[in-house]
Structure 1
Amino acid sequence: MTPLYDCRDEAQLLAGMRHARQAIGRGQLVVLPTDTVYGVAADAFNARAVQGLLDAKGRGRQSPPPVLVAGVPTLRAIAAEVPPAVERLVDAFWPGGLTIVLPSQPSLTWDLGETRGTVAVRMPAHRVALELLEETGPLAVSSANLTGFPAATTAQAAQEMLGEAVAAYLDAGESEGGIASTIVDATPLVGGAEPVVRVLREGAIGRERLREVLGDLLEPDPAQPGRRPEAESGGGA
């Protein structure tokens, strides 16, 4: 049976982090806590591991997973460009529950699925997740659940759904947030004809808070005329 480590116990935390780090290095999956919901993670630069993540969730390549990073320098390394408005979003909401979609660096040798040249990036506000990211580098992470089921807010709930498909479960108790991250598409800010930030999924960060930072660069609210339909979004943690 796949081990579950109680990361509130220092000894189990050390053992769990070591196991998780080794599992990621072998191309296996790990369930980890974040500040929103639990996520299932794979090495973002291991195409077979990322496909294993999609398979475990019952998801196709048309729904590529977001990437969790340990800090802003990694965002700048994997995004083709970080516009000033995105810098403001990062300053306001990272680490935290905001996932930002940007054009990816074309030189990166990875395969996250049908990304159309973009990457969805988030820095989580959780000590365990950040410590693991510092050791492994960027991780492809999606909410730890089967497609069509609610996102797991406990490691036990994730284990019930994902079982032996995961090599290690890191348990930090019930998720404090319990709400998946908000996902915004900032790609139109990079050479787009209409520079605007679109909300792909409403979650932990509300529109009002986004508008305080972005002003008119945020798309019109749903009740306002002229709003474009939202794109399909992936199930990021």
Structure 2
Amino acid sequence: MTTRDLTTDLEGGIAAASQAVRAGQLIVVPTDTVYGVGADAFSPTAVRRLLDAKGRTRSQPPPVLIGRPETLDALVADVPGWLRRLLGEVWPGALTVVLQAQPSLTWDLGETHGTVAVRVPADERTRRLLDVTGPLAVSSANRTGEPPATTVGEAEEMLGDNVTVYLDGGSTADAVPSTILDATGSSPRVLRHGAVALETLHAFNNTIEPAQDAP
């Protein structure tokens, strides 16, 4: 287990993290929302290791982070026009979209029912890492039921030796999680309210339904 300070050694941190990913190990990375624990999205063993570290089952598959919006079309079957326009405005940023996955993809993220949740984070350092590693399965860096980590120390306290490389980017800018938008059906709906407001989403599609637990 190693910790690399991205403020003093960005390239060394990216190299160490990408090596761990290639070996099927877990890494912790800063994002524009909270710290995330990540693994190679195309390694079922690594994804299983991620779920085990968090104390989750296959019924709670992790989202996938990508470094560039253009990568989305390689992962999903179709992107509605209104959603493509929305993503053009808010990505990179704190909006996770759930879409039908490309059926040809050879991965196993868990019980996804043929869908995938995808986001382009706004943290430039993490996007540079993603350019090297390719898509990563990334979930908040905490044990299930615990608050998401906003510092690398909090992540290490919860995940310990389950993670091979911790990338320290300082305190995350915002502890508010990403908004999750399900666009798989004819009636798009918010699964989790977060950093991107419903009003912003409605500017592109006013039929989007709020989350069921919304006040």
Match of 2:6 in 1: 7
Does structure 1 retain, via aligned residues, the 8 Å contact 2:83–2:204?
Answer: no
Q: Which SS does the other structure have where 1:213 is aligned?
A: coil
Residue identity matched to 1:179: V
Structure 2 distance, partners of 1:59, 1:145, is 11
Kindly report structure 1 stretches of 4+ aligned residues shifted beyond 3 Å.
none
Aligned residue runs from structure 1 range 97-136, under 5 A: 97-136=94-133
Match of 1:201 among 180, 192, 196: 192
Structure 1 distance, partners of 2:161, 2:202, is 42
Percent of aligned positions that are identical:
54
Equivalent pairs counted in the alignment come to 213
What's the Cα RMSD here?
Answer: 1.1
Structure 2 distance, partners of 1:17, 1:96, is 21
Q: Which SS does the other structure have where 2:102 is aligned?
A: coil
Residue identity matched to 1:73: E
Residue identity matched to 1:208: E
Match of 2:139 in 1: 142
Match of 2:171 in 1: 174
Residue identity matched to 1:5: R
CA drift at 1:4: 1.2
Residue identity matched to 1:172: G
Does structure 2 retain, via aligned residues, the 8 Å contact 1:92–1:213?
Answer: no
CA drift at 1:14: 2.0
Matched, 1:185 2:176: no
Aligned residue runs from structure 1 range 1-237, under 5 A: 2-9=1-8, 12-188=9-185, 195-215=186-206, 217-219=207-209, 221=210, 229=212
Does structure 2 retain, via aligned residues, the 8 Å contact 1:35–1:175?
Answer: yes
Q: Which SS does the other structure have where 2:181 is aligned?
A: strand
CA drift at 1:208: 1.4
Structure 1 distance, partners of 2:190, 2:26, is 29
Structure 1 distance, partners of 2:59, 2:23, is 25
CA drift at 1:22: 0.2
Structure 2 distance, partners of 1:25, 1:103, is 26
Structure 1 distance, partners of 2:69, 2:22, is 23
CA drift at 1:213: 2.1
Q: TM-score, normalised on structure 2? A: 0.96
**5+ unaligned residues in a row in structure 1: which ranges?**
189-194, 223-228, 231-237
Structure 2 distance, partners of 1:65, 1:30, is 14
Residue identity matched to 1:196: S
Q: Which SS does the other structure have where 1:214 is aligned?
A: coil
**5+ unaligned residues in a row in structure 2: which ranges?**
none
